[in-house]
Amino acid sequence: MTNKILLVGGGGREDAVARKIVESGSILYSALKNENPSIMKLSREHLICDELDYRRIAGFAAEKGIDLAFIGPDPVLETPLVDILDSKGIRVASPSRDAARIETSKAYMRRIVAEHRIDGNIFSELFHKQDEVEKFLSTEKREFAIKPVGLTGGKGVKVMGEHLKNRAEAMAYAAEVLSRDGQVLLEERIKGEEFSLQVFTDGKSILPAPLAQDYKRAYENDLGPNTGGMGSITDSDGLLPFISRSTYEKALNSIKQTVSAMASENTPFRGIMYGQFMDTENGPKIIEINARFADPESLNILSLFRGNFTDVLFSIADGSLKTGADFMKKATTLKYLVPVGYGTMSKPGTLRIDGNFETDHLKLYYAAVSGTMTEVRMSGSRALALVGIADTIPDASDIVENSLKYIRGDYSIRHDIGTPAMIRKKMERFKKA
């Protein structure tokens, strides 16, 4: 009998997941807030709903006889949805609410990493009182990243020396977070190249995906406000031109240690674990550990994924993951088309797409849009993702650039992602280090 898979979420990441589910021969059901034309086209049935409405989604899953569910967005992992599906006997390839705390609570993450002596930890301290945080900041010489403990959609972290010009601004921001949330996390500021490592895990075994780098800043040359991510790259050898194999091995080891630590505390993690690391002078350090696929980086790696994706999801849910599936040995460059003003004040318009121009070397994913396959209305967020697949990152970037002629309308894009100039600049820094 053909499996029925429920996918929650309606962004670019979920479009990439939806395609893999359908390619695997399974029947797709989806629950999403926007009328994403690609996901809707791939689905046998869809439910347009508030993605946080866990009762409605769990009811939909039961009514449709879903065999397995997969959750895309992090805020959904903070609801009881996964636990309810579990209790109804529906398999889930995403973490329980408790296990998702590795992402939804940065305080929990830092506790696990510190108590289990996981490699790549950095100094951090949680504050509940304003006078204590002020005293700490006024006596400390180091710089810090100031973070809300919970989810912020990638926009709540401010770093001294980057977003915060001086100690007074740092104190003011810490006070703002503290008065809103009752707590604020300070982490030592570290410097280096950032990279993302996504792995599939059933709580014991791990299947790692190629490393990726995400470009969070809104404007070219890594300027401007942080966004959800404007684009991302992966390389043909599964590393990045400026990240060594030994750095990769250390980061993978940190993820393995985290998976074991969570199992040893009876909070086994199943699903996708996505570590955000910074490659510092003292080796790779953990910036964040997330409980889901990265967006945009999952679109790179899913475009390379070979094998039966649904089988992997079942093996995650059943605790029988084997390191069988693999990834094409190609490079990818992804660039998101976003509304003009994205990152500050989006002015969403309409984009027109000339027919189906996808090839084996070029994928077009639909993100936070509604409409048809040939005309989409943008929301305030990312609209369309183009992924080029080639032997090198710059060639993959050229494939994306050459396909922009098929899309008309007003949008912003970071043309610099994956270009030879960008890679050269990063290589120079890497060689100096």
Binder of residue 297, out of ligand GLY, ligand AMP, none (CB less than 5 to 8 A by kind): ligand GLY
Question: By CB under 6 A, what part of segment 19-38 binds ligand GLY?
Answer: none
Question: By CB under 6 A, what part of segment 151-170 binds ligand GLY?
Answer: 154
Q: Which of 72, 229, 231, 284 binds ligand GLY (CB under 6 A)?
A: 229
Rounded alpha-carbon distances, angstroms, from residue 425 to 236, 278, 368 = 19, 17, 32
> Looking at beta carbons only, is 103 or 416 nearer to ligand GLY?
103
Binder of residue 157, out of ligand AMP, ligand GLY, none (CB less than 5 to 8 A by kind): ligand AMP
Which candidate, 213, 236, 196, 260, places its Cα nearest to that of 326? 236
Q: Which of 51, 67, 214, 235 binds ligand GLY (CB under 6 A)?
A: 214
Shortest separation between residue 113's beta carbon and ligand AMP, angstroms: 13
Q: How far apart are the two ends of the chain, measured CA to CA in Å?
A: 55
The verdict on 387 binding ligand GLY (CB under 6 A) reads no
Residues making contact with ligand AMP (CB under 6 A): 122, 145, 154, 157, 159, 187, 189-190, 194, 216, 226, 276, 287-288
Q: Which residues contact 168 (CB under 8 A, 6 or more apart)?
A: none
Q: Which residues contact 173 (CB under 8 A, 6 or more apart)?
A: 146, 158, 164
Give the residues across from 407 on adjacent strands: 353
Binder of residue 229, out of ligand GLY, ligand AMP, none (CB less than 5 to 8 A by kind): ligand GLY
Cβ contact 34:52 at 8 Å = no
What distance in Å separates the CA atoms of residue 218 and residue 294, rounded to the nearest whole number? 17
Specify the stretch interacting with ligand GLY by CB under 6 A; choose among 53-61, 88-96, 104-112, 288-296.
Answer: 288-296
Specify the stretch interacting with ligand GLY by CB under 6 A; choose among 24-32, 187-195, 289-297, 365-373.
Answer: 289-297
Binder of residue 331, out of ligand AMP, ligand GLY, none (CB less than 5 to 8 A by kind): none
> Looking at beta carbons only, is 26 or 346 nearer to ligand GLY?
346
The verdict on 297 binding ligand GLY (CB under 6 A) reads yes
> Looking at beta carbons only, is 141 or 405 nearer to ligand AMP?
141
Shortest separation between residue 133's beta carbon and ligand AMP, angstroms: 16
What are the φ/ψ torsions at residue 274 (nearest 5 degrees)?
-125, 110
Q: Which of 279, 295, 311, 416 binds ligand GLY (CB under 6 A)?
A: 295
- Alpha carbons within 13 A on the beta-carbon side of 201: 30
Binder of residue 363, out of ligand GLY, ligand AMP, none (CB less than 5 to 8 A by kind): none
Characterize the bridge pairing of strands 124-127 and 91-92: unpaired
The verdict on 418 binding ligand GLY (CB under 6 A) reads no
Site residues (vs ligand GLY, CB under 6 A):
154, 214, 229, 290, 294-295, 297
